[in-house]
């Protein structure tokens, strides 16, 4: 291995997807020297069903990026359907908090847009590069990281602050010393695939005894069709090997025969992907010289489908806090404490509802909890829409 020397920055962001690239863009746009490190190359996909709740759409609109996402081919979703054994209820997406649509862009597209915008704002990007360690001064304060490229080249990055945005399997959280504030286990699995040649109309949610399925229309006329159930009820999918597609359709038929028929009438255009028992945790938001954003700091089962909105919300709150301390208007400890308090208050309702929904209560109670979730998401969207315009009135800059 060879060493390529050292560089100095205001902020290092480890992780270049929704949370990391958004944080980097917001800071770079304010004139801070930001470097973003990610072991992946872009554009690339990641495990995600990628439906964006209203709050996330509000953020895209406020940041000047919603039109670019729609221009990429992600369809504007203007109705939401709820299907239970009692029938189907379809509602339009009404104009609230400044937006009248939902959207579910493929992550390879969305992450690429966000990262392009971060670079256009002035952030430096290093892909194919893994964070291998954390630097600290004599007081224990984090002062940077060490990295290694895929080719084996080592580099030392120094910074006034390090942001860990490296996702669900974050290695940085442990290196930084973040602790779990709260966690719970959920015996639940989710699998999904992409299906086209079906006239998908909008977001769909299908609720049955110990089963929850859905449809998120996305690029190229396809939709992400997903199913979540207690883990044991999806063992046939997990162990199906080359027959996983047929096993997932059969499992869908147990929860929503009508949705399974429509999937069979269309064309599956992807492998089946999924996750078993994803962790549910809230970690310490920040410490001396470091912070966590996105799934690195907070993750809950995707049954409440809120991860992208969480990432966008927390990226802005963190960027505001870091800007204040970088320019010297607020001491770091106070700024980071404010970020942690705001993040913890914002996630409280969805974390609680995730815990209850992941136990798969009776469908009638499941519907009640979904209504509570919808109300919580609307309150959050209103709160985000009422925030001051981002510094410098962000607008899309990449072609």
Beta strand pairing call for 298-299 and 280-283: antiparallel
Please tell me the distance from the alpha carbon of residue 242 to that of residue 34, in angstroms, as a whole number: 44
Q: What pLDDT does 399 receive?
A: 43
Please tell me the predicted confidence (pLDDT) of residue 395: 64
Distance CA 316, CA 301 (A): 23
Residue count of the chain, please give it. Answer: 399
Which secondary-structure segment (H or E) carries 13?
Answer: strand 2-14
Q: Do 110 and 62 touch, CB atoms closer than 8 A?
A: no
Q: Which CATH architecture has domain 188-276?
A: 2-Layer Sandwich (3.30)
> Looking at residue 5, what is its pLDDT?
85
Identify the CATH homologous superfamily for domain 2-184+278-385: FAD/NAD(P)-binding domain (3.50.50.60)
Predicted confidence at residue 391, as pLDDT, reads 67
Please give the C-alpha separations between residue 150 and each of 4, 38, 131, 247, in angstroms, as whole numbers.
13, 11, 11, 37
Separation CA 25–CA 351 (nearest Å): 27
Interaxial angle between packed helices 18-28 and 307-326, expressed in degrees from 0 to 180 and rounded to the nearest 10: 30
Per-residue pLDDT tens digits of the chain, which is 399 residues long: 556 689 999 999 999 999 999 999 999 999 999 999 999 999 999 999 999 999 999 999 999 999 999 999 999 999 999 999 999 999 999 999 999 999 999 999 999 999 999 999 999 999 999 999 999 999 999 999 999 999 999 999 999 999 999 999 999 999 999 999 999 999 999 999 999 999 999 999 999 999 999 999 999 999 999 999 999 999 999 999 999 999 999 999 999 999 999 999 999 999 999 999 999 999 999 999 999 999 999 999 999 988 999 999 999 999 999 999 999 999 999 999 999 999 999 999 999 999 999 999 999 999 999 999 999 999 999 999 999 988 655 666 544
What pLDDT was estimated at residue 398?
46
- pLDDT for position 163: 98
CA distances from 273 to 147, 189, 202 (A): 30, 11, 22
| Residues whose CB falls within 8 Å of the CB of residue 202, separated by 6 or more in sequence, listed in order | 77, 78, 79, 80, 81, 90, 93, 102, 217
Lay out the sheet containing 280-283: strands in order across.
180-184, 280-283, 298-299
* 207 contacts 84 by C-beta, under 8 angstroms: yes
Distance separating alpha carbons of residues 77 and 101, to the nearest angstrom: 5
Domain boundaries, the chain: 2-184+278-385, 188-276
Q: Do 2-184+278-385 and 188-276 share a fold? A: no
């Amino acid at each position: 291995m060879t060493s390529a020397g050292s560089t100095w920055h205001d902020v290092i962001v480890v992780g270049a997807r929704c949370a990391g690239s958004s944080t980097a863009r917001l800071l770079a746009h304010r004139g801070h020297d930001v470097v973003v490190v990610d072991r992946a190359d872009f554009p690339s996909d990641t495990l995600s069903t990628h439906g964006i709740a209203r709050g996330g759409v509000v953020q895209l609109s406020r940041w000047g990026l919603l039109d670019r996402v729609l221009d990429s081919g992600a369809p504007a979703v203007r109705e939401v359907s709820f299907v239970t054994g009692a029938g189907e209820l379809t509602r339009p997406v009404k104009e609230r908090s400044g937006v009248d649509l939902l959207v579910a862009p493929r992550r390879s597209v969305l992450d690429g847009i966000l990262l392009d915008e971060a670079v256009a704002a002035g952030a430096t990007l290093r892909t194919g590069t893994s964070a291998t360690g954390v630097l600290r001064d004599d007081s224990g304060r984090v002062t940077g990281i060490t990295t290694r490229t895929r080719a084996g080249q080592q580099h030392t990055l120094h910074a006034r602050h390090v942001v860990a945005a490296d996702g669900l399997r974050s290695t940085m959280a442990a290196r930084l010393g973040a602790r779990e504030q709260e966690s719970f286990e959920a015996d639940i699995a989710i699998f999904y695939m992409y299906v086209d040649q079906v006239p998908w109309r909008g977001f769909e949610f299908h609720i049955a005894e110990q089963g929850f399925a859905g449809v998120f229309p996305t690029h190229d006329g396809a939709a992400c069709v997903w199913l979540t159930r207690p883990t044991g009820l999806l063992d046939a999918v997990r162990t199906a090997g080359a027959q996983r597609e047929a096993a997932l359709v059969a499992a869908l038929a147990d929860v929503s025969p009508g949705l399974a028929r429509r999937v069979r009438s269309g064309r599956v255009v992807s492998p089946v992907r999924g996750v078993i028992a994803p962790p549910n945790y809230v970690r310490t938001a920040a410490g001396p010289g470091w912070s966590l954003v996105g799934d690195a700091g907070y993750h809950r089962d995707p049954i409440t489908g809120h991860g992208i909105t969480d990432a966008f919300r927390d990226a802005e709150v963190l960027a505001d806090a870091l800007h204040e301390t970088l320019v010297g208007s607020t001491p770091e400890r106070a700024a980071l404490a404010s970020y942690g308090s705001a993040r913890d208050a914002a996630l409280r309702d969805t974390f609680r509802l995730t815990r209850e929904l992941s136990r798969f209560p009776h469908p009638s109670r499941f519907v009640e909890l979904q209504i509570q979730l919808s109300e919580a998401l609307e309150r959050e969207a209103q709160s985000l829409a009422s925030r001051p315009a981002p510094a410098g009135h962000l607008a899309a800059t990449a072609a």
